[in-house]
Structure 1
Amino acid sequence: MGELEDLIVEKGKDGVIIALSGGLDSSTLAALCKKLLGDKAIAVTVASELQPEEEIEGARRVAEEIGIRHILIEVSLLKEEVARNGPDRCYHCKKAMFRRIRELAEELGVREIFDGTNASDSWRPGIGALRELGIRSPWAELGFRKEEIREIARNLGLSVSEKAPQSCLATRIPFGERITEERLMRIWRAEKLIRELTGVKILRVRDHGGIARIEVSRDELASILDPPKIDAIVRGLKGLGFRYVTLDLEGYRPADPPPP
């Protein structure tokens, strides 16, 4: 890990902001920066319409656990470029987020900004926006993959070491279908209800108009197939406005890439 520590110390010597989502990658990076740089490391979390409330609260908790200075900024990301949900949605979303973080960095007199993209992230359209804005991704630059980062988090004793992968709520809506606050809120409520009923860790409710397509990891399918739970899930999701409620037997998988 020497090369990683050298990069953090060199690039962060005059201060660094770490974009903290509260997930495994950004939290572990923030913890390392705090350990190596002390108060020169600052964590920044962006709150928007696209992040579940639980993720924002999770970022607060992990920042407190690490002992790092934490700044929460609110940014409205549901502009037309994002709302129309084209293949370039992630690019526009990341650009708006990190442009605001860059503005904050200038206000604080900090040059470097890190994000938690890792070498396992094979399809990330927002990476182009990060590069345009001069954002560095130490994990990806040095070839660290998800499981290696998880092992570092375990060694650091971080509470997020076993945390399941998360993604913004917009990924639940197929490309080309418009994103609205109402749809995002419906998805968030649906996932919250299912988690409370079943305790599943990996969950996505894909919103196909009137159809809710539920994805959980294959090894958690049994947690959701209990008849009383099924009845409660169907009632709850229909109460949120879905006409049909389905369970995807292939299990959870990352959202499909945009069409060419």
Structure 2
Amino acid sequence: MTVNLDEKIERLRHFIYEKGKDGVVIAFSGGVDSSTLTALCKEILGEKAVAVTAVSPTYPQEEIEEAVKVARDIGIRHIVVETNELSDENFVRNPEDRCYYCKKDLFICLKNVAKNLGFKAVFEGTNFSDLSGHRPGFRAVKEMEDVYSPWAENNFTKEEIRMIARRMGLSVSDKPPLACLASRIPFGEQITAERLIRVGKAEQIIKRLTGTRQLRVRDHNGLARIEVGKNERKLFFDAEIMDKIVIELKKLGFKYVTMDLEGYRTGSMLLTLEDT
């Protein structure tokens, strides 16, 4: 039997109420998944829902600023906490399941926030579409008590979430997917604060020069491999812009600056595992 979107939303609303009625903190990045979930929780649970953004060296500064703005627009109480994945040697080693260690630390932090608020549950924004990809972080969700993934557990796809966001008039409804800065570094290469800062600054520079929205600067041991949305590749086909990008990224310490002609795609760093 086919379930239409309105029926799925009703089931989701019931899920949110049942799991969150004793208070819930939402892992809030400011992306479309967490923002739409947060808006629904605010609507259903009122003051029993609090958005929490974890700030760390892996989180781009401009995303922090946008998360604050989106939370304000939603009208939900918003708490910003500091985490530091770089203190976890398992994360720093950058194994294939790096995201598991990051998510586990995050949920421990969020559960502590919930406890201090007198709340019980933690929600996070993994969606059903995500589960078909490389998602070791989701293992941490399944391991921890009172941590839930409302989208994934109710079979909501990314496109369905965007549809709900548009219905709710959220500014992030068409925002490109987010990923932490650690995802720019090939598995097996050590993650350092310096490398995270470098790729973060590189992406800020390129966005400023080109106006692109979907962007990753992959740091292959000093070689910058630029991935950009397929429909935005044409923004780079200007000699002056390319020269400026090269100059600015070399100032950051990159030896080579290249553009990946395939454009942005999820999971491209998994190809580096084939060489190990």
Partner of 2:194: 182
**Partner residue of 1:70 out of 62, 70, 78:** 78
What is the CA distance between 1:133 and its match in structure 2?
Answer: 1.6
1:217-242, Cα deviation, whole Å (9 max, x unpaired):
11100111111100000000111111
Q: What is the Cα-based RMSD across aligned positions, in Å? A: 1.1
Partner of 2:32: 24
Structure 1 residue identity aligned to 2:110 = I
Unaligned runs of at least 5 residues, structure 2: 1-8
**Partner residue of 2:185 out of 162, 173, 176:** 173
3-state SS of 2:128 partner: coil
1:174-224, Cα deviation, whole Å (9 max, x unpaired):
000000000000000100000000000100000001210000011100111
In 2, the alpha carbon distance for the partners of 1:211 and 1:172 equals 11
In 1, the alpha carbon distance for the partners of 2:43 and 2:153 equals 20
In 2, the alpha carbon distance for the partners of 1:125 and 1:96 equals 13
Corresponding position: 1:49 with 2:60: no
3-state SS of 1:254 partner: coil
**Partner residue of 1:129 out of 136, 140, 148:** 140
In 1, the alpha carbon distance for the partners of 2:21 and 2:223 equals 51
3-state SS of 1:253 partner: coil
Unaligned runs of at least 5 residues, structure 1: none
What is the CA distance between 1:2 and its match in structure 2?
Answer: 0.7
Corresponding position: 1:90 with 2:104: no
3-state SS of 2:148 partner: coil
Partner of 1:81: 90
**Partner residue of 1:155 out of 144, 167, 180:** 167
3-state SS of 1:120 partner: helix
Partner of 1:139: 151
Partner of 1:104: 113
3-state SS of 1:166 partner: coil
Structure 2 residue identity aligned to 1:175 = F
Q: Which structure 1 residue ranges, 4+ long, deviate > 2 Å from structure 2?
A: 255-260
In 2, the alpha carbon distance for the partners of 1:68 and 1:24 equals 16
Partner of 1:40: 48
In 1, the alpha carbon distance for the partners of 2:48 and 2:127 equals 23
| Number of equivalent positions | 260
TM-score normalised per structure 1: 0.98
3-state SS of 1:55 partner: helix
In 2, the alpha carbon distance for the partners of 1:83 and 1:245 equals 25
For 1:221-260, list aligned pairs within 5 A.
221-255=233-267, 256-257=269-270, 259=273
Structure 2 residue identity aligned to 1:151 = M
**Partner residue of 1:209 out of 207, 221, 241:** 221
What is the CA distance between 1:57 and its match in structure 2?
Answer: 1.1
What is the CA distance between 1:112 and its match in structure 2?
Answer: 1.0
TM-score normalised per structure 2: 0.92
What is the CA distance between 1:249 and its match in structure 2?
Answer: 0.3
3-state SS of 1:167 partner: coil
Structure 1 residue identity aligned to 2:162 = R
Larger proportion of helix: 2
In 2, the alpha carbon distance for the partners of 1:91 and 1:40 equals 28
3-state SS of 1:57 partner: helix
In 1, the alpha carbon distance for the partners of 2:90 and 2:11 equals 38
In 2, the alpha carbon distance for the partners of 1:142 and 1:9 equals 14
Corresponding position: 1:219 with 2:231: yes
In 2, the alpha carbon distance for the partners of 1:109 and 1:53 equals 30
Identity %: 56
